[in-house]
Structure formats: structure tokens, C-alpha cells
Amino acid sequence: MKCKTCPGKAVIDMRRHNAAFCKDCFITHIERQVERTIESDKMLSKDDRVLVAVSGGKDSLTLWEVLRRLGYDTTGFHIVLGIDHYSPQARGTAEAYAAKHGLPLIATDVKEEYDFSIPELAQYTRRVPCSACGLSKRYLMNRTALEGGFSVLATGHNLDDAAATLLGNLLHWQTPQLGRMGPALEATHPKLAKTVKPLIRLTERETLAYAMLRGIDYHDDECPNAVGATSLFYKDLLNQLEHASPGAKQSFYFGFLKKGRPAFLAAQTGGVELKECEACGQTTTTETCAYCRMMDLARRTAAARSR
Amino acid sequence: MKVIIRRPRREVEMPGSRRVRDLLQELKINPESVLVVRGDELLTPDELVKDEETVEVVPAISGGSAHEV
Ligand code: SF4
Ligand SMILES: [Zn+2]
Ligand SMILES: [Zn+2]
């Protein structure tokens, strides 16, 4: 196959764009696409102090790499989850990247700072690990962004992640979530950080190719808890659709944002009021936030068991 | 040719040469969810893999429900 933009030999085909690119043209294409996404959705400006969520995987390091190359002021944020052999390796990868490029990295070890690893938290609160993990990550990212004086939080969610989340929300008719989906969410409360997803127009296959072609040393071990995750099943289904009909994921997700989301948002008028958690001050719709309730339950269960 | 597949890791021997497109089809792997590499070279679907060569099928899809961050 030939490159679409130069006489070189292609290394990757992108059926949804009806194109194939050589290494250099692919890298340029990806970086331009992220840049355009940031501009068209008004995600970031060069004055922003950006906190980048970095797991150490291909998506988060691709995000950091592109933002770094585009000249944004970035600080990495890594959460040490305490999951078997997976977490130490993930942390090592994030730290190595930061050191290599002389970028600041904040690492928060949930076991050290909040007493429980993710597996312990899941066990003590009878949640599935990904639920305890997700709640902790969202809470810690927001809190770290606010307390560190960052104006925006950037995450490495790609098109596959977004389309899988959308499919899950539709299958369960999660109407409030459907109204709130989107690649750039403005801070609607002083205690909420603005969050952006600059990789939203890239498929997971494209971020993988970018990470490989840029020679990024990413962490590619799978978390043991991901095995059998519903989101993986949804991604697989969507890729079957994509194979039969190139561009399907893109039109599913971006079509929803344009034509579906406004209706869900409008249906929510007079919705819930955000308050500040009595225990920690972060936003919640109840007296105490979901994170503090989860932590409280974990502490009580742990205390009861040690008696 | 030898094809290395990850998650779970296994090796498949396939006699003869074939194009990337055809080898994925025979292995019932969706090309949308993987990249095929030979050494550190990415291969497009029309690329021919020779009998004596080894290629690796790298999965692009990862993650639990809140995994990307
Ligand atoms: S697979 Fe689940 S538990 Fe593992 S890092 Fe991802 S969200 Fe957390
Ligand atoms: Zn080219
Ligand atoms: Zn709280």
C-alpha cells in the first residue's frame, strides 16, 4: 500500500478515512487531529496548567506525548492502585517517561495515603474492583487537579472507550449520564475541575500505532481485573460493526453528541443540585460523597474484621 | 510462518506464505482490533509474510470500565 500523502510505503491503513499512511505522515496526521480536536472543542489553551492522568498505558502516554509536543504546560498524575504485579510496573513506566522528558509527575499511592489498595477496597465494600477503582480514580483526579491549582484535567479516553461507554449507557438507559457525556466538560461548580479528552477522535488501534511508531515505552500488561470486563465485550461488538461498516464507531458516538445528547440534557431541567460533601468538601448530590461513603464502609469492615 | 498472539499468549504455526489480511481471516481475528508487526515494522493488510518469518498480532483493545486513566 502507498501513503496517501507522499510517495512512501504505508505502514498503517485506516479504512474509516479510506487512507493509508507512512510512518511520518501518520504521526503528523495523528498530532494534527489531536490539535484540531483541542481547538474545535476549546479544550486547552497554552496558558492552562494541565494535569494529565497517566496510567502508563499506550493511551495516556500517547496523550502526554502529543500534549508535550504541542507545547502545553503538563504535569502527570499517576495513581498507584496496589494491584498485584500490574501496579508497580505501571508506576515504573509513568515515572520513566516523566524522567526521560524532564516533566513533573505526581504519584498517589492509595494504600499509603488512603489506607486501602483497590483489591482491599473492593473486598471490604463488596464492590467489583473496577467500580472501586473508577470511583477512586475520578475522585482523586478531581481533588488533585483542584488542590494543585490545575485549570484542567486531561484523560486519554479514545473513540473506542467513548463508544463503548455510550453503548453501555444506552443499553441500560442511563439518562442522566447520557445527557452529560462529551469530550470537554466545563467546571459547573467551583469544586469541579474542567475535564477534557483530546484523543476522542482516535481509535484505540491508532493510539497503539502512534505509541509504537513514536517509540514510546508504554506499559502493555493487562490489569487482571480487566479480564471479562463488559466494556471489553462492548468494544469487541463495536469493532465487529466497524469491520462491516468502516466509520461506524465514529458516527455512532459523534452522531449521538450532535443529535442525541441535547435531548437527554434538555429532559434534565430542574435536575439535581450539587452540594459539598460534609466530610471532604468535594461535590456530591447527597450529604456525604460516594467516595467518602465507600471509604467509611471499608474502614468499618476492616475494623470489624480485625476485632 | 510463526504467528505470536497475545492475551492469552500463544504461538501458531501456519504452513506457507500469506498476506496479513488472509492470515487474520484464517485466525478469525478482527483487523480493527489489532496491529500486525514483523520485528518493529507495522504491516498493512496487503503485506506478504513469508514462510520462514515470524509476525506478532498485538491487541489494541484494553481496559476495564474506568481503565484509561
Ligand atoms: S481493569 Fe478495572 S481495576 Fe484494573 S485498572 Fe482498569 S478499572 Fe482499575
Ligand atoms: Zn507519507
Ligand atoms: Zn467526600
Q: What is the pLDDT of residue A38?
A: 98
Confidence of residue B9 (pLDDT cuts 50, 70, 90): confident
Taking CB atoms and an 8 Å cutoff, what residues of chain B touch A209?
35, 42
CB A53 within 8 A of CB A155: yes
| Backbone angles phi and psi of A192, in degrees to 5 | -115, 130
Percent of chain A with pLDDT over 70: 99
pLDDT digits (tens, 9 = 90+) for A182-219: 999 999 899 999 999 999 999 999 999 999 999 999 99
Q: Which of B61, B65, B69 to mutate to test the pocket of ligand 1 (most atoms within 8 A of CB)?
A: B65
CA distance B15 to chain A (A): 25
CB A249 within 8 A of CB A155: no
Q: What SS3 class is residue A234?
A: helix
First-to-last C-alpha distance (Å) of chain B: 37
Confidence of residue B65 (pLDDT cuts 50, 70, 90): low
d(CA B11, CA B27): 12
Q: What is the DSSP letter of A2?
A: B
| Spacing, Cα A290 to ligand 3 middle (Å) | 7
Confidence of residue A220 (pLDDT cuts 50, 70, 90): confident
pTM for this predicted structure: 0.95
Instruction: Tell me if B32 and A1 make a contact (CB, 8 A cut-off).
Output: no
Cβ-Cβ contacts under 8 Å between A and B: the total is 114
pLDDT digits (tens, 9 = 90+) for A49-75: 999 999 999 999 999 999 999 999 999
Confidence of residue B68 (pLDDT cuts 50, 70, 90): low
Cα-Cα-Cα-Cα torsion A19, A22, A24, A27, nearest 10 degrees, comes to 40
pLDDT digits (tens, 9 = 90+) for A227-254: 888 889 999 999 999 999 999 999 999 9
ipTM: 0.94
Candidate from A60-74, A268-282, A287-301, B17-31 with smallest mean pLDDT:
A268-282
Mean pLDDT of A263-281: 86
CA distance B2 to chain A (A): 21
d(CA B48, CA B24): 12
Q: What are the grid coordinates assigned to A53, written together?
A: 492522568
Residue A9: CA count within 13 A, CB half-sphere: 8
Q: What is the pLDDT of residue A127?
A: 93
Measuring CA to CA, which residue among A76, A75, A70 is closest to residue A90?
A76
Q: What is the pLDDT of residue A273?
A: 83
Taking CB atoms and an 8 Å cutoff, what residues of chain A touch B68?
55, 57, 59-60, 155-158, 161
How far, rounded to the nearest angstrom, does the alpha carbon of residue A132 sit from its chain's CA centroid? 16
Candidate from A60-69, B2-11, B51-60 with smallest mean pLDDT:
B2-11
Q: Of the candidates B30, B43, B66, which has its C-beta nearest A243's C-beta?
A: B30
pLDDT digits (tens, 9 = 90+) for A171-182: 999 988 899 899
pLDDT digits (tens, 9 = 90+) for A6-58: 999 999 999 999 999 999 999 999 999 999 999 999 999 999 999 999 999 99
Confidence of residue A267 (pLDDT cuts 50, 70, 90): confident
d(CA B42, CA A213): 8
Mean pLDDT of A146-154: 97
Q: Of the candidates A53, A57, A203, which has its C-beta nearest B62's C-beta?
A: A57
Q: What is the DSSP letter of A247?
A: T
Q: What is the pLDDT of residue B66?
A: 57
| Backbone angles phi and psi of B11, in degrees to 5 | -120, 135
The residues with which A59 forms a beta bridge, in sequence order, are none
Q: What is the mean pLDDT of chain A?
A: 95
| Beta strand ranges found along A184-276 (DSSP E) | 184-185, 194-196, 275-276
Q: What is the mean pLDDT of chain B?
A: 91
Mean pLDDT of A274-287: 93
Mean pLDDT of A259-276: 85
